[in-house]
Amino acid sequence: MNNLQTIIEDLKHSYDKNKIQQAAKIIKSGDVVAFPTETVYGLGADALNPHAVKKIFAVKGRPSDNPLILHVSNIKQIYPLVSYFPEEYKQLMTALWPGPLTLLFKKSEKVPTITTGGLNTVAIRIPNNPIALKLIEEAQTPIAAPSANLSGKPSATNAKRVYEDFQGKIPLILDGGKTKIGVESTVLNIVIDPPTILRPGGITYETLKQYLPNITILKSVDPKIRTSPTSPGLKYKHYSPNTRLILVHGDKATQETFINREIIRLDKAKIAVLCLHNEHVHKRAESVILVGEDKKEIQKNLFECLRKLDDEDCTMAYVESVEEEKEGLAIMNRLYKASYEIVYLDS
């Protein structure tokens, strides 16, 4: 599968139907194509073709027991994929789809077990991106797609980063520009009661609670009841830059003082700071990367900034923290997993 020529089709400014049809043909033929969604880029293949799905796991280096999300373009497409359709959640689907929400269903025979990592549930979402939706329609099949990054690396939010990871390994990348949301979809288990967030993401807990008053968050990702914050349900290494990243947990002023003191203490080391508040306070750092000034912006730029760390020639990096509410829950979830070490200044 190596040393293919990887073509990047530029769809940033013009929506070219022919190029999407060409991508759909590749999917139908059982191969893999990278495409944009509103969250992050996906590495897509025909979800119902086990050989095609196997290629996703191979090029990504993904453990075979980690299930994939199926992307469909309308609710009707879901019925054949599930053994039971929970009509009571249809209002939620209609309200929040297309969008960054993935729901778990009981799977039907039609979905190969390789796609669901051997589980009897299947994760499905309708992405909110015109290129993704057109690609699914043209391929006439649900598209299984994990985030388009090598296993363990930060997800890719633009075509350049997809190319960095999969150059020579996949035939085509559809370039739809920078993704709008920046973190992956929220994964919600509606097969169990109460409905439970398995992965915080693009749709916040606060938004979901308006539709599902009894919703809960999986213990290992819930900041209120998490018992060992250094390993929030970590099964695999995730989102990690090569640069050693230290997450600093505490209120804004304490974080800034701590980081600045460390930079002075570690005098000779080249230290980068991923800044979530005010970039001007870290004057002595080798490199200061402002991720964003509000949570939506931080969420949008987070993965790209984690990748930028590896473009810099720094020994290590500090990253600040934000409160774990609204978008902050997904942001901190990714940072806990990305970091090598966490420093708690508030406990």
Residue nearer to Mg ion on the CB measure, 68 or 271: 68
For residue 45, the cross-strand partners are 144
Among 147, 157, 179, 339, binds Mg ion (CB under 5 A): 147
Q: In whole angstroms, how close is the CB of 253 to ligand TXA at the nearest point?
A: 34
How far apart are alpha carbons 54 and 47 in whole angstroms? Answer: 10
Residue nearer to ligand TXA on the CB measure, 151 or 260: 151
Q: Does 102 bind Mg ion (CB under 5 A)?
A: no
Q: Does 121 bind Mg ion (CB under 5 A)?
A: no
Piece in contact with Mg ion (CB under 5 A), picked from 108-116, 139-147, 169-177, 314-322: 139-147
Residue nearer to ligand TXA on the CB measure, 75 or 119: 119
Residue nearer to Mg ion on the CB measure, 141 or 157: 157
How far apart are alpha carbons 339 and 270 in whole angstroms? Answer: 18
Q: In whole angstroms, how close is the CB of 156 to Mg ion at the nearest point?
A: 10
Among 23, 45, 67, 290, binds ligand TXA (CB under 6 A): 67
In 3-state terms, what secondary structure has residue 261?
helix
* Tokens 């077990």, residue located: 113
Q: Using a CB cutoff of 8 Å and minimum separation of 24, what contacts does 63-66 make?
A: 63/151, 63/236, 64/114, 64/117, 64/118, 65/117, 65/118, 66/117, 66/146, 66/236
Among 4, 8, 119, 150, binds ligand TXA (CB under 6 A): 119
Q: Longest Cα pair distance anywhere in the chain, in angstroms?
A: 61
Is the separation of the CB atoms in 88 and 103 below 8 Å? no
Of residues 66, 32, 47, the one with CA closest to residue 162: 32
Piece in contact with Mg ion (CB under 5 A), picked from 18-26, 129-137, 140-148, 249-257: 140-148
Residue nearer to ligand TXA on the CB measure, 215 or 343: 215
The interface with ligand TXA within residues 183-222 (CB under 6 A) comprises: 184-185, 187, 198-199
* Tokens 């990690």, residue located: 240
Piece in contact with ligand TXA (CB under 6 A), picked from 14-22, 99-107, 205-213, 252-260: 99-107
**Is omega for the bond preceding 194 within 30 degrees of 0, making it cis?**
yes
> Site for Mg ion (CB under 5 A): how many residues?
1
Residue nearer to ligand TXA on the CB measure, 63 or 284: 63
Cα–Cα distances in angstroms (integers) from residue 301 to residues 100, 126, 181, 182, in the given order: 16, 23, 9, 6
How far apart are alpha carbons 226 and 234 in whole angstroms? Answer: 12
Among 73, 77, 116, 255, binds ligand TXA (CB under 6 A): 116
Task: Tell me which residues touch Mg ion (CB under 5 A).
Answer: 147
Task: Tell me which residues touch ligand TXA (CB under 6 A).
Answer: 37, 39-40, 42, 66-69, 100, 102, 104, 116, 119, 121-123, 127, 145-147, 184-185, 187, 198-199
